[in-house]
Amino acid sequence: MTVGWRFIRHTFALLVGVAGPAAAQAAVSGKATVLVFSQQDEGSRPYEARMLVTPQYLRLDNGSDRGGFILLNRATRTVYSVSRSDHTILVIRPQKIHFPRPAGFRQRVVRDKGSYPEIAGKKVVHYTFLTDGKRCFDVYAAAGLLPDAVAALREYQQVLVGEQAVTEARTPPSVRSVCDLSRYIFRPARYLRYGFPVRQTDNSGATRELLSYHRAVPVAPGLFTLPPHYRRYSIAQSSGGGP
């Protein structure tokens, strides 16, 4: 099980095709910023992914109101991954990191001097993130664009760090990636300091690109409600590693 952006990609891949078109909701509880992405993993077809941001929540799904989803409760700093197929909720809370930082762990960011089309009047800049000389991650970021979404994504990444550290600790050192250690444990949100990522590509070839966004969209209360009778568990529980 992986987390971070890998966790988002994995979950979205499972959600694709689970449910039909977005379901209509009768009641509306407030408004959200709604973002739609084209996402593609190496060797797979692109698919749409949706992000909803409110002051209280961040929801990630495949555009369906009735399918599985990931939910960040921003107040409690808890992430929930809801599976409709087996009626379960994976619960992820912040954990202390006990994973040792590799010796000589060098980070570098290269800014492309090229010119790219602006988005909503915001300049887009291409950044390449390197760790120990290895190209790990490319981001086309727009400074000042969607600050509410940037803040929510940063909070989401920070919650997942401890879980990712546990996962990496169980990974044989011979197959660990310095890119993964940088992006998911030691510098998980460093790319967000440059603005909203309108396009991003990692060293595995996975990409995510912003297609559209709308502010102040009426949203239904059920979109941020967890199914009450689903079984909740943690990765530690599923592997026998703790309560």
What share of the chain in percent tops pLDDT 70?
A: 85
The answer to whether position 169 is within a domain reads yes
Judge whether 62 lies within some domain: yes
- What confidence tens digit (pLDDT) does each residue in 32-47 have? 999 999 999 888 899 9
- Note whether 36 and 212 are within 8 A (CB): yes
pLDDT higher at 182 or 111: 111
Reported as type and span, the H/E element at residue 4 is: helix 4-15
Q: Is 48 exposed, middle or buried (0-12, 13-18, 19+ CB in 10 A)?
A: middle
Q: In whole angstroms, what is the distance from residue 78 CA to residue 94 CA? A: 7
Residue 224 domain-assigned (yes or no): yes
CA R_g for the chain: 18
Whether the per-residue pLDDT at 8 is higher than 50: the answer is no
What pLDDT, in 10s, does the model give residues 129-181? 999 999 999 999 999 999 999 999 999 999 999 888 888 888 888 888 888 88
Assigned domain for 243 exists: no
**Tokens 């997942």 appear where?**
160
Answer for the pair 162, 185: CB distance below 8 angstroms, yes or no.
Answer: no
| pLDDT single digits (tens) 52-76 | 999 999 999 999 898 999 999 999 9
**The predicted structure's pLDDT at residue 237:** 52
Question: Which CATH number do you get for residue 198?
Answer: 2.50.20.10
Q: Is residue 160 part of a domain?
A: yes
Q: Is residue 120 part of a domain?
A: yes
Taking the CB of residue 162, how many other CB atoms lie within 10 A of it?
19
Looking at the structure of the chain, the number of domains it has is 1
* CA 159 distance to own-chain centroid: 11
Lowest mean pLDDT among 19-23, 86-90, 202-206: 19-23
Q: Which residues span the domain enclosing 155?
A: 4-238
- Backbone angle region of 133, left / alpha / beta, with phi > 0 → left and psi within -120 to 50 → alpha: left
- Is 126 domain-assigned? yes
Return the higher-pLDDT residue of 170 and 49.
49
pLDDT value for 236: 61
Residue pair 224/162 in contact (Cβ under 8 Å)? The answer is: no
Q: Report the pLDDT value the prediction gives residue 60, as an integer from 0 to 100.
A: 98
Q: Bridge partners of 80? A: 71, 91
